[in-house]
């Protein structure tokens, strides 16, 4: 071991007496300094402006590390393969050219000690490179409030592993040729190939698996993002083992007179050993993970993990149906499979390794879809499929006809786009994808589909019909299809594990399988029998959402009176020059913000900032008194002022602005209650009811604009659906550095430090030259 360290020390000394090594060191530092400090001046300037303009500005919401440090580390990592060849091009061939390799061979030093010593010397140099680079990272640590220290350490580890892996490759190449320039070019070429090999021939299964094992592209991405995995660390160590071993075999072969077959066997044996170790170290269930980010942004949300724990360990089979002619089809093709598995599914495999994947490829169109026939006039569907496959560089023979897929599953109610089908213990359900760029389903969508498989009974929301109520099946502006049953919307109920149905009370009562009743803006009065059935449902302690509308309050008032709620006559108006007087954006109360965990509501719950908002179009005022054991709290309110009142006269919204008239019954209040929640304990459970004086704010257009989404449904379903996966705000949202300080720091790190390194290099090299 002492000999190895002596050789390493001698190699390190040679490096520092070489202008090339100093050039590499200084270039590394300058690139890092420019990338990591130049944006700070711009961002600190932005921060100062925002703090002046907004008293409650929350900072860079996504986090400075995510929006600033991570992209720059990724960019910096791409420059490494351009500089390492300069460092390693003369490690072995320098000894050959000067003849000192013969002295080493004749001395009591083994070939393995020579190789390991020289490689260790390069490793020590790499450590020094990162120590110099760490000056910038340390500056970033002090520049950022609550900096992601663990994340930065993971990033430095990634850079260290990349440097050492590339150095091992350069070491081997330097043993192949006696010309240093040739060694540098060959090293650069080999690194380029290994970094981009995963883009070649990915439509073939065997080649795709081999290139995945060999490719360096993306191997450090997770670490640069703060997630260390045993698979990636072992991969880089295996690359080092492979090429240091190749170097050792190469040097031994020059000392021995063995047949080429014996030498080839050594190379092949080492390569196969590394491939086997790489294969087993990347098997699901055998990979260790360490998420060093403070918000655990690289790890499935605890709510999603809890859903996976509902599975008992039995196989979960995922079949990906890819339509060559369908929406997002390219994301499901064989050449995209690694991104599909390791980009989308790996976080789930981490917590539930027993996931099996199947793939079905087909071509087909809906009967109403004539787009491809217009694009390729006169062509049959089979001919169109062949043309499209050729364009995408994939064999048309792998694609089945739609009729063959119909024997496997029923796609008649789907849009024939990219689609996943999950199967667990004999039960099946779909997991849908969406339109690019956000193709893959959210964690909430995955949780919703898995819950469909693991639960004993369906979860259903029943929408009352028969009196022209708002419908979950209609796409009109006033109806609720988009957030109820729309398969193309990630936030829709159906994509979050909840089914919707409509029913009338004219013939029978409310079905027992309804978990939440929605009565949305009926336009004609219910019969006494229908009212009795609604009252019976409420008396049983079941949950409901009841939405009234100004001018039709009397329809629902007989039901609401039993709850202690009264929707007053009139409509709240707020005349202004920018919008119609009956439109208003209102905030949720504290109680309203605790109804569910939509993102802005959760920020209110966790930090006391933001909070949910709604967009009301013609709301009334609700008065209430606790009745029949109910506790009633406002959840949506509109603040009162001199220019806001309850209009009881005739209101024409697209005419002259209304004028307050007490004679016509107009009323001003300090606060107008738009919606309330009612709770009581009954039958050993909490009954939950929402009453609102406006049904328009529950349309998809208005819910999604202010991101209230499924909050009221969630509360009505006892917060079991959706399985919200909102991560906390990043902790590193503010710079501790002023803009002036950032300018000074940039001058120091980008100009003064490199000048100091250059001066040190000159001194060392001149002293060496004199000696």
763 by Cβ neighbours in 10 Å (0-12 / 13-18 / 19+) ranks as exposed
Q: Which two tokens stand for residue 239?
A: 């690359």
Mean pLDDT check: name the lowest of 243-252, 309-318, 428-437. 243-252
Contact at 8 Å (CB) between 717 and 666? no
């605890």: which residue's tokens? Answer: 302
Q: Note the pLDDT of residue 725.
A: 96
SS3 472: coil
Instruction: Please state, in angstroms and rounded to a whole number, the distance separating the CA atoms of residues 587 and 222.
Output: 39
In the block, residue with structure tokens 């008396």:
539
Q: Please state, for a pLDDT cut of 70, what percent of the chain lies above it.
A: 94
Considering only 210-219, 340-349, 380-389, which range has the smallest mean pLDDT?
210-219
pLDDT exceeds 70 at position 206: no
- Cα separation, 516 vs 340, in Å, equals 36
pLDDT over threshold 60, residue 203: no
The angle subtended at Cα 389 by Cα 387 and Cα 390, nearest 5°, is 65
Instruction: Give the rounded distance of the alpha carbon of 307 from its chain centre.
Output: 18
Torsion angle (degrees, nearest 10) of CA 483, 484, 486, 491: 40
Tens-place pLDDT, residues 703-720:
888 889 999 999 999 999
Q: Is the pLDDT of residue 674 over 90?
A: yes
pLDDT at 19 (0 to 100): 82
- Kindly state the average pLDDT of the residues 207-234: 79
Taking 90 as the threshold, does the pLDDT of residue 590 lie above it? yes
pLDDT > 90? residue 634: yes
Could you tell me which residues come within 8 angstroms of residue 6 by beta carbon, excluding any fewer than 6 positions away? 117
The residues, any chain, with a CB within 8 Å of residue 156's CB and separated by 6 or more, are 130, 133, 134, 137
Residues 559, 531: Cα–Cα separation, whole Å:
7
pLDDT of residue 544: 98
Instruction: Quick: pLDDT tens for 725-754.
Output: 999 999 999 999 899 998 998 888 888 988
Q: What is the CATH number of domain 460-572+615-637+670-716?
A: 3.40.50
Q: What angle do CA 308, 310, 311 make, to 5 degrees?
A: 75
pLDDT, one tens digit per residue, over 52-72 is: 888 788 889 889 988 888 888
Q: Are strands 427-432 and 419-424 parallel, antiparallel or unpaired?
A: antiparallel
Report the pLDDT averaged over residues 464-475. 94
Q: Helices 205-214 and 260-281 meet at what angle, rounded to 10?
A: 90
Work out the average pLDDT over 49-54.
Answer: 88
| Contact (Cβ atoms closer than 8 angstroms) between residue 332 and residue 322 | yes
544 strand-pairing partners: 517, 689
Strands (E), 150-302: 227-229, 289-291
First to last CA, the chain: 30
As a three-state string, the secondary structure of 584-641 is EEEEECHHHHCCCCCHHHHHHHHHCCCCCEEEEECCCCEEECCCCCCEEEEEEEEECC
Tell me the C-alpha distance between 304 and 348, whole Å.
Answer: 9
Say whether pLDDT at 551 is over 60. yes
Reported confidence tier of residue 654, pLDDT bands at 50, 70, 90 = confident
Give the pLDDT band (50/70/90) at residue 424: very high
Host H or E run for residue 537: helix 528-539
Q: What is the pLDDT of residue 196?
A: 67
If you average pLDDT over every residue of the chain, what do you get?
89
| Residue ranges per structural domain of the chain | 2-293, 302-454, 460-572+615-637+670-716
The pLDDT confidence band at residue 420, using thresholds 50, 70 and 90, is very high
| Predicted pLDDT at 490 | 95
Max avg pLDDT among 49-63, 94-108, 189-203, 356-370 = 356-370
> Pick from 86, 73, 94: which is nearest to 188 by CA?
86
State whether residue 419 is helix, strand or coil.
strand
Mean pLDDT, residues 95-106 taken together: 59
Task: Flag whether pLDDT at 669 surpasses 60.
Answer: yes
Statement: residue 188 has pLDDT above 80: no
pLDDT score of 118: 85
- pLDDT tens profile 305-340: 999 999 999 999 999 999 999 999 999 998 888 889
213 pLDDT above the threshold of 80 = no
pTM exceeds cut of 0.75: yes
Of 366, 262, 358, 292, nearest to 319 (Cα)?
358
For residue 107, pLDDT beyond 80? no
């Amino acid at each position: 071991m002492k000999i190895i360290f002596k050789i390493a020390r001698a190699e390190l000394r040679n490096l520092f007496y070489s202008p090339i090594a100093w050039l590499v060191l200084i270039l590394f530092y300058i690139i890092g300094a420019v990338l990591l400090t130049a944006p700070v001046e711009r961002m600190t300037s932005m921060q100062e402006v925002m703090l002046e303009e907004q008293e409650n500005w929350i900072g860079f919401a996504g986090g400075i590390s995510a929006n600033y440090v991570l992209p720059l580390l990724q960019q910096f990592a791409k420059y490494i393969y351009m500089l390492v060849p300069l460092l390693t091009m003369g490690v072995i061939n320098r000894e050959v050219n000067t003849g000192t390799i013969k002295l080493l061979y004749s001395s009591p030093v083994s070939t393995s000690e020579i190789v390991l010593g020289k490689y260790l010397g390069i490793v020590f140099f790499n450590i020094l490179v990162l120590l110099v680079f760490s000056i910038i990272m340390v500056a970033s640590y002090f520049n950022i409030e609550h900096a992601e220290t663990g994340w930065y350490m993971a990033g430095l580890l990634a850079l260290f592993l990349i440097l050492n892996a590339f150095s091992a490759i350069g070491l081997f190449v330097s043993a192949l040729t006696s010309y240093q320039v040739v060694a540098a070019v060959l090293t650069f070429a080999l690194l380029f190939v290994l970094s981009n090999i995963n883009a070649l021939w990915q439509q073939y299964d065997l080649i795709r698996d081999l290139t995945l094992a060999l490719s360096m592209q993306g191997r450090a991405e997770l670490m640069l993002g703060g997630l260390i995995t045993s698979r990636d660390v072992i991969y880089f160590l295996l690359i080092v083992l492979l090429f240091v071993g190749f170097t050792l075999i190469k040097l031994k072969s020059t000392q021995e007179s063995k047949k080429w077959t014996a030498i080839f066997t050594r190379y092949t044996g080492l390569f196969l050993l590394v491939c086997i170790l790489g294969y087993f170290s990347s098997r699901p269930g055998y990979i260790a993970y360490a998420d060093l980010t403070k918000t655990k942004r690289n790890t499935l949300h605890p709510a999603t993990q809890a859903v996976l724990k509902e599975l008992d360990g039995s196989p979960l089979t995922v079949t990906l149906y890819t339509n060559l002619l369908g929406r997002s089809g390219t994301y499901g093709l064989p050449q995209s499979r690694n991104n599909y598995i390791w980009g989308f599914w790996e976080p789930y495999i981490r917590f539930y390794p027993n996931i099996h994947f199947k793939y079905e490829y087909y071509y087909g169109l809906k009967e109403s879809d004539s787009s491809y026939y217009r694009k390729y006039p006169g062509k049959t569907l089979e001919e169109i499929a062949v043309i499209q496959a050729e364009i995408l560089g994939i064999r048309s023979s792998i694609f089945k006809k739609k009729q063959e897929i119909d024997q496997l599953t029923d796609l008649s109610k789907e849009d024939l786009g990219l689609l996943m089908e999950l199967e667990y213990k004999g039960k099946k359900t779909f997991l849908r994808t969406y339109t690019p760029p956000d193709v893959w389903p959210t964690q909430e969508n995955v949780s919703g589909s898995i819950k469909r498989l693991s639960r004993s009974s369906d979860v259903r929301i029943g929408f009352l019909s028969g009196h022209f109520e708002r419908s979950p099946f209609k796409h009109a502006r006033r109806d609720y299809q988009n957030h109820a049953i729309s398969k193309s919307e990630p936030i829709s109920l159906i994509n979050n594990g909840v089914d919707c149905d409509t029913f009338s009370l004219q013939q029978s009562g409310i079905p027992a399988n309804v978990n939440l009743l929605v009565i949305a803006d009926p336009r004609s009065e219910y019969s006494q029998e229908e009212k009795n059935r609604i009252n019976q449902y409420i008396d049983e302690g079941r949950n409901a959402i009841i939405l009234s509308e100004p001018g039709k309050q009397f329809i629902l008032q007989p039901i609401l009176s039993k709850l202690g709620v009264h929707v007053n006559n009139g409509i709240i108006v707020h005349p202004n020059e920018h919008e119609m007087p009956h439109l208003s954006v209102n905030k949720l109360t504290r109680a309203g913000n605790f109804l569910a965990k939509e993102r802005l509501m959760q920020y209110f719950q966790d930090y006391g900032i933001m909070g949910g908002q709604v967009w009301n179009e013609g709301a009334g005022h609700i008065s209430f008194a606790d009745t029949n054991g109910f506790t009633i709290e406002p959840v949506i309110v509109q603040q009162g002022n001199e220019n806001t009142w309850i209009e009881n006269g005739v209101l024409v919204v697209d005419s002259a602005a209304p004028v307050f008239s007490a004679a016509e019954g107009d009323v001003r209040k300090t606060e107008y209650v738009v919606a309330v929640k009612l709770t009581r304990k009954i039958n050993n459970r909490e009954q939950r009811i929402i009453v609102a004086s406006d049904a328009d704010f529950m349309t998809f257009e208005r819910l999604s604009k202010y991101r209230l989404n499924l909050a009221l449904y969630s509360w009505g379903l006892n917060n079991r659906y959706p399985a919200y996966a909102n991560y906390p705000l990043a902790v590193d949202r503010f710079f501790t550095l002023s803009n002036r300080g950032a300018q000074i720091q940039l001058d120091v790190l980008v100009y003064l430090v490199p000048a100091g390194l250059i001066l040190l290099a000159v001194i060392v090299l001149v002293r060496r030259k004199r000696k």
